[in-house]
Every structure is written in C-alpha cells, then in structure tokens.
Structure 1
C-alpha cells in the first residue's frame, strides 16, 4: 500500500463536502459549503450548475489550504452524488438551464400519464420503482419536452448531476447504475436503457450517457479543469455512486440485510440485498448498489432539510447563541429536544414536507402537526420533528421485514448521526441498536473507497471498508420508552392514513 491519498466530492442537496483521505480512512483535510435551492414556482426546485461547480472549486481551495504538502498525493477522486437531479446539456456539454433538483415536483401531470401507460407491476419489474412519481427524471424529461420545447430540441444529452460533473472534469459522458436506477428509463435487470420508456418520452438512447460500474476509472482530469480545481492533470476521475449507496459503503453496512439510514438533507434508507430480488408486496424500491452486481432496498424522505427549515425560520436566537459559543446550531437544537420528554407532550409531526416516499409512495403528502397547544414551545417542535423522522425509519424497518429482510441494527450515517439525542430517539422508536461510526460523513468516505478501488489502492470495496471503517458508538433502546413510542407510532400511522384523502384533495385544487 502506498501513501497516496484519495479525494471525495460529496454533492448533497444543500451543501457540498470535499474531503481528502489517507488510505487508512483518516481524513487529511475537508471543507463544506452550503448553497441555496431556488424555488421559482410552486413545486419547482432548481440550482444553477455553476453554483455546484463554484462551490466545489471553493471547497477544494479550502481543502488544499488545510492539506498543505499532501495535496499533491491525490491518486484519484470520485463523487457521492444526490440522485434524480437532471441537467440537459448541448453538444458542447454546456447546461441549457438550471438543474432540476430531485425535490422538484413540477411533473406531477406527466408522472400520472406515465403511470397510466406503464402499470405499476411492469414499472417495478423493469426499474425497481414501485410507482411513477414526479421525482423521477422520466417524468421531468416528458415535462421538458412539453413545457420547454426549445430546451428539449437543443439538448444533446440528458445527464444526472454526477454525469454532468464527470463530463465537465474529463470530457467523458458516463453514468452508473446506482444513479440510473431511479430515472425510470433504465432497466435494472438488463442494465441498459429501457426502450419502451424512451419511446414514451421521445428520447433516443444516444442522448443518454454510457453506463459503467461504480468505481470504474473514467478519465484523467482535463488540464484546464485541473488548474481551476487545484488538481494535478494526472489525477484519475472515477465513477462514484448515489450518495446513499456511498453512505452504506462508507458506513460498512453492506452485508445482506444491513440497514443504514443517512440523515442529511434527506433521510435515506438502504438495506443490501442478497440478489436482484423485489419486494413481493411491490412497495419497497430496489436500486442498483454502489458495489457492482449488488442491489439494495432504498427509499428516502425529507429529513435534515426539514430541520434546516425549522432552524432558519424559527430558531434565529439559537443560531446566534451557537455562533457566539463556537457551536454548531444543530447541537443547540439537540439540547432543546433533550429538554422535552419522549412523546413531545402529545405533539406529533408528519415530516412529509415534500411528499412521502416508500412505503407510502405518496407525492401529495405534506407536513402536519397534530396536538399543538399553548404549552408547546420551540423545543417541542424540534423534538416532534426528530421523533417524526424516527417514525419514518421504523416504517421502513417494518416494510423491509415484510419483504423478507430482517434488520438487526441500524447504521446511522450523515450529519444527523452526530446528535446523540436524535440517535437515542431513533433506537427507542425502532427497538433496534443504532450504531454510529468514527467517520460520520460516510458518503464522502464511501466515494473515497470507490476512488481507491478505481486507482488500485484497494483490491476491492470490501478491502477498502476493512481498511477504513470503524464503529464509534452504539445506542441501545431504552425499555422505559418502548410502550410510549409504540403508542405514538400507531397514532403516527393512523394520522397519515386518515389524511390521505385530504392530501389528494389539496393536490387537486387549481
């Protein structure tokens, strides 16, 4: 083993982290930058691709400042990337409009039309997705063709955000299966683009990137880009994976049945499968993994982005106090939640601010507070939100179990894993031990492992995990809270089911 380093670029929904790792998993240097989502119309969520690019550039500049002499040791890099975010580009690879972010729901009418054309059973068998949703790029491609035809006509290739960045760095147009799965125009079984769906969208396969395996070398970074990003032109750019697949790798949760939750802007939930199977009930999504020829149950829901909303809209005093004390604002929010008893004194939240994914699969669902009284405080809101997200995790633990995948523990990853209060809540709600690792930014570490495999620093992904991942803390369920949370979870499920007709009625309003 040499002493070279590997670089990870973890492109999340609201922030980017760049991290330089030694091949032992030790972080040499890292930096994080937040960026703002644009909402130009109801249901629309966008980011200009230059915001992504300049954030990566500025983030890397800070990494190089911290890394000193080790910046020249970079053998390769890979990305951990958000899924579904769509970028149409022209023949020169220039983005023709802002990226349409995965949270965007503008294509509801198009998704309904595609759902009518492709029965759910066929969609699930072909793509692994139980239901056609406006989230999926297939619906957004159809929307673009109808609402921005001049953009569609000029589009040479439809790329996902990882594909776009790989192309900008290397000039090569490639994607990989963990991101391609949820486009709903990639066939999970054949690992090729699905002709019937492309026909429905009016898109030829030659307007899509080539498919490679996660961790595959893509190409050397282009000289001009190397200069801009502070890289050596010999640096090899490797295919990464969906951020949550990277998280499962970086959290060491890749054995069959391993359950991981990664709380960043979204709560993303993954469980590695023994093969390319499906949920017999047709409820749980199946994705290609960041490990070649491996598959996983995977779903997600709004998580940290809802906590960020709560922080920004209602917690300005806490933000200021945290800044003055040199603390993270989210640590202060955790302190607030810790001061409220389990059950939040009767306050219950559905955290579906942007719709609900599996097992509900309801893009019309919205956030709800039930039981609000004059006794409730800001701290109760924080506690209720943390508990609501814990209920989302439990819903999926139970759905996976019904599909034949029994979980023994939860690997907690991402920024949310830093909150001891939140992880104890999760353990109490699910009744499972919650395990954190010493490298909580598992998505970045997973991308670094993929880069290490791509340039030969590790012989395999399993070898990379053995060399880098270590357990930090285990939160055991508190039996004193079991009965209370069983009752609250039942109310959570009943509340959602009672409101389904109301969600549909609201969505149908002009």
Structure 2
C-alpha cells in the first residue's frame, strides 16, 4: 500500500507524518524550532528548518519501507520570506509571518498595487505580509538575489534545484490569483528586480523529485515526487476535509481561524476576508480573529482546563439559554476578523464571573459568539455557509465547548479523527483522496436557545464602534426565528 509524507513547517516546530491510503499514520515525528523576537522583529534561521525537517522525516519513516513512499508535500507559515543566493543559500534570516518591520513599505505597496489587491478581494496588504517585507529586505540586498517563502527554501533543498512557489504561499507576496501569475507592472513599479521571485504553480503541482543528497539527509527515498504545498492554514483545511463549496473548517487554538470553500471569489469591503486558490481552481476564503483559547492560559494560569470543562458541563449542561457573563476573549489588543478594529480590547458583560468555572464558561461562550459572527459576516458577503462545519484545534478537547459551539451555530458540527496540517499535506501529495480523512463524531445542536445573549454581545461590539452597523444588522436578521 502506498504511503505519502506530509510535512508541517510551523512556527514552534516542524512535524512530519507518513500516511497510507486508508488514513493510517505509519509514522510521525516533530522537532522544535527557535524564534528570535525583539519588538516588531520575528526571525528564524532557515538552516534550522532544514536540519529539523530532516531529523523529523528520518524518524517518521523509520519503519516505512522505502518502496512504498509515493510523494511528499510541505506546508509553511503564511507570509514568511527570506533572501537567498542563486544556489539557494540563505543571505538573510527569515522574516516570519508576524514580523512587522515593513510599516514604512506597506503604504507604497498599497498605493501602487491597490487596484490589483481590490480585484483580488482583500483590498489592502498589511505590514506583516510578504511583499512589504520583501521591499524591506531588498533595501540593503546585493544584486541578483532570490526571494524564497518558507517552504520554497526547503523544497529547493529536497529537489536540488530552483523550484516554483505555490499560489497559496505567494498570496501575501502579491501574486495575481485570478491570472495565476505575478503582477509584473506592480512589481516593476515597486523596484523588485525581474527574476527575484520564483515561478508560480497551483498547490498540488509536481515540483521535481527528491535528489540523492536530500535523500541521504532526510530518509525520503531518492526519486520521490515533491508536490507543491500550501500555507499552514490551507493545509489544516485540507486535513480537516473541508473541500466542497459551502463547507468550512473552524479552528480554535490560541486564536480562531475560519476557512471555507466557494466557487466564486469573495470581495470584502473591510478587507478582513481574503481568499486562497484551491488545487482545483475554486476559492478558499477565510480570516483569522485575534480571539481564542489563548485567553484561558492567560487568565486561568495553571488551572486544569479539562477539569473546568467537566465542571462547566455539570453546572450549565441542563440550563438552555443560561444567563451569565459573556467575555470577548481577545488574546491581544486589536481585532482582525470578523471586523477590523486595531483599538479593540477584551471585555466582559453580564457581571463579573463568580468563580473560575464561570470565568471559563464566559470565555467559551464569547469565543462561540465570535465564531457565529464570522459566519454571519461571511453570509453577508455572499459566501455559502450552508455546508459542513468541521471543528479542529485544541478547543475540540472540550466536549462542553463543542456542544456550546453547535448550540450557538444552531447546526451540526463535525469532529475529525486526525485533522492537522501534516495530514493535509499527505492528502495533497496523494492527489486529495477523501477516504484518508476520518470522522470521529457529529454533534447535533441541543434545545438551548442562545440567540438573546448572542445579540446582546453583537450589540455591545456595535456600541463600542468596532462592528459596522450593516454587519450587526445582518447578524440580527439571521438570528430571527
């Protein structure tokens, strides 16, 4: 039986997974990565990516017969970029996905490329996107340098020669996702030399095969096809099995990320929703909130969250539409989705929580309300939100939270058996066979009616001037019986 290798090149670690056609994981391993942060700076050493990737793949493939390996694909953090020489050796550290040094460059990027960004639906770039950071890097660069996204760097090492980048990782570098090419006139006007950026292909395209040198270091057999990957968010969506138009993958970890599938490109006047391109040419809209479970570790340090989940279920499970506090669980100042509000701060309405169980439940309820508001806003933009909703991320450990989210959304939610970005890359390397993805449970909404507290929460966001009136009005309309 064939085996495919998925590699998730993240911020804190690199994870490799060997998966067969039935979705069985035959081997997996991870290795930590080190970041260097200082104010707006966030850097990593690209050579460490390669060393730790090689160590992880060697361990993951330890018990896998080499002749069974049919392909490998790599995902990476969105917007991470560096400069290399012509041979692929790094000339700079990697500027990571949240490095914000390019504040001075972003206005010029948006002034020059604004019409293109408007046509692509997201309207404006942000300082942490890859194109502003590329301009920042090029200010002091020698001639004839090359730009590489995070997975471009390791893909080149795997095949031993120049590789194309995928449309997913190229999005924040300004690629024209409709024409599937670089906007050369914009790049010329910005002073990006011709030849700096790699060619572009769709995720799922074949880039080459693993060379002998890389095989010796990684344990991946020489000659194994190397498949163009995606960003980590799109990889998680593939691993969750959100592949049909109208289906959505909602991930709550430290923060909330929502990604779905539409047949047409979504245009967002606020610029908080942007779309990737799927391997089949459909669109993958989504957004990332600054709310999420990170508030729990911050506000309830050292507490046993699994125990709090059980206590909350025992206290509130039989009380549909329960009154009580609602917390807007903002992990850091400023909101990105489903509205843009740099000045937004966390708050609690409905009184102060009486104890840690109530404090825990208030955070979970607020996060579920933000998730519901994301769907309401996507519906306002014209995206189909009627398909399957798949929950992944660390929040799914809490049965109480899973049920609460189904109740707030007023629809069934699906839990997968093994949904993670590395699995998504194995699925992509295998040509996207859905049978590699297994369902663990489908949770039906209970009789709980949480519309009234949800609309109180929406009203508070509107009152504070963060949520636009049309978005608040649409949320009220969708909550009408």
In the alignment, the residues of structure 2 paired with residue 282 and residue 258 of structure 1 have an alpha-carbon distance, to the nearest angstrom, of: 23
In the alignment, the residues of structure 1 paired with residue 92 and residue 322 of structure 2 have an alpha-carbon distance, to the nearest angstrom, of: 45
Note the alpha carbon deviations across 1:299-346, whole angstroms, 9 max, x for none. 123466x62x7537853464xxxxxxxxxxx64564576577588942
Note the alpha carbon deviations across 1:445-468, whole angstroms, 9 max, x for none. 221121112xxxxxxx3xx11x22
In the alignment, the residues of structure 2 paired with residue 45 and residue 361 of structure 1 have an alpha-carbon distance, to the nearest angstrom, of: 23
Matching residue of 1:182: 172
User: Displacement of 1:385 after TM fit?
Assistant: 4.1
Matching residue of 2:471: none
TM-score, reference length from structure 2: 0.85
Q: Is the 8 A contact 1:339 1:379 kept in 2?
A: no
In the alignment, the residues of structure 2 paired with residue 86 and residue 343 of structure 1 have an alpha-carbon distance, to the nearest angstrom, of: 47
Say whether 1:59 aligns with 2:59. no
User: Displacement of 1:79 after TM fit?
Assistant: 1.4
1:356 counterpart (332, 335, 339): 335
SS in 1 for 2:152: helix
Matching residue of 2:12: 14
In the alignment, the residues of structure 2 paired with residue 93 and residue 217 of structure 1 have an alpha-carbon distance, to the nearest angstrom, of: 19
User: Displacement of 1:169 after TM fit?
Assistant: 1.4
User: Displacement of 1:75 after TM fit?
Assistant: 1.5
In the alignment, the residues of structure 1 paired with residue 147 and residue 359 of structure 2 have an alpha-carbon distance, to the nearest angstrom, of: 41
SS in 2 for 1:497: coil
Note the alpha carbon deviations across 1:345-389, whole angstroms, 9 max, x for none. 425224252743343244x34552435987555555544444443
TM-score, reference length from structure 1: 0.80
Q: Is the 8 A contact 1:284 1:399 kept in 2?
A: no
Q: Is the 8 A contact 1:124 1:282 kept in 2?
A: no
Say whether 1:138 aligns with 2:131. yes
Relative distance call for 1:22 and 1:205 in structure 2 (3 A) is same
Matching residue of 1:299: 287
Say whether 1:28 aligns with 2:23. no
Note the 1:151-300 alignment, pairs <5 A: 152-153=141-142, 156-170=145-159, 171-183=161-173, 185-264=174-253, 266-275=255-264, 277-279=265-267, 281=269, 283=271, 285-300=273-288
Query: Which of the two has greater helix per residue?
Result: 1
SS in 1 for 2:37: coil
Q: Is the 8 A contact 1:353 1:365 kept in 2?
A: no
In the alignment, the residues of structure 2 paired with residue 427 and residue 34 of structure 1 have an alpha-carbon distance, to the nearest angstrom, of: 34
Say whether 1:311 aligns with 2:297. yes
1:105 counterpart (100, 107, 127): 100
User: Displacement of 1:153 after TM fit?
Assistant: 2.8
User: Displacement of 1:49 after TM fit?
Assistant: 2.1
Matching residue of 1:486: 454
Q: Is the 8 A contact 2:296 2:363 kept in 1?
A: no
SS in 1 for 2:122: coil
SS in 1 for 2:104: helix
Relative distance call for 1:115 and 1:384 in structure 2 (3 A) is farther
Note the alpha carbon deviations across 1:125-165, whole angstroms, 9 max, x for none. 0x3323221121122123334xxx33x33671112111112
Q: Is the 8 A contact 2:408 2:451 kept in 1?
A: no
Q: How large is the Cα RMSD of the aligned pairs?
A: 3.1
2:423 counterpart (435, 445, 455): 445
Matching residue of 2:476: none
Relative distance call for 1:92 and 1:314 in structure 2 (3 A) is farther
In the alignment, the residues of structure 1 paired with residue 14 and residue 355 of structure 2 have an alpha-carbon distance, to the nearest angstrom, of: 32
In the alignment, the residues of structure 2 paired with residue 141 and residue 400 of structure 1 have an alpha-carbon distance, to the nearest angstrom, of: 31
Matching residue of 2:439: 471
User: Displacement of 1:419 after TM fit?
Assistant: 3.2
Q: Is the 8 A contact 1:158 1:208 kept in 2?
A: yes
Relative distance call for 1:25 and 1:115 in structure 2 (3 A) is same
Note the 1:385-400 alignment, pairs <5 A: 385-400=363-378
1:40 counterpart (27, 38, 63): 38
Relative distance call for 1:36 and 1:387 in structure 2 (3 A) is farther
Unaligned runs of 5+ in 1: 319-329, 454-460, 501-510
Q: Is the 8 A contact 2:35 2:43 kept in 1?
A: yes
User: Displacement of 1:269 after TM fit?
Assistant: 1.6
Question: Which segment drifts farther, 203-212 or 374-383?
Answer: 374-383
Note the alpha carbon deviations across 1:435-488, whole angstroms, 9 max, x for none. 1122222x22221121112xxxxxxx3xx11x2223221222333251354145
Note the alpha carbon deviations across 1:278-297, whole angstroms, 9 max, x for none. 33746453423332322121
In the alignment, the residues of structure 2 paired with residue 6 and residue 375 of structure 1 have an alpha-carbon distance, to the nearest angstrom, of: 49
Q: Is the 8 A contact 1:106 1:134 kept in 2?
A: yes
Relative distance call for 1:100 and 1:37 in structure 2 (3 A) is same
Relative distance call for 1:190 and 1:252 in structure 2 (3 A) is same
Relative distance call for 1:166 and 1:384 in structure 2 (3 A) is farther
In the alignment, the residues of structure 2 paired with residue 96 and residue 312 of structure 1 have an alpha-carbon distance, to the nearest angstrom, of: 37
Matched positions, count: 462
In the alignment, the residues of structure 1 paired with residue 244 and residue 157 of structure 2 have an alpha-carbon distance, to the nearest angstrom, of: 34
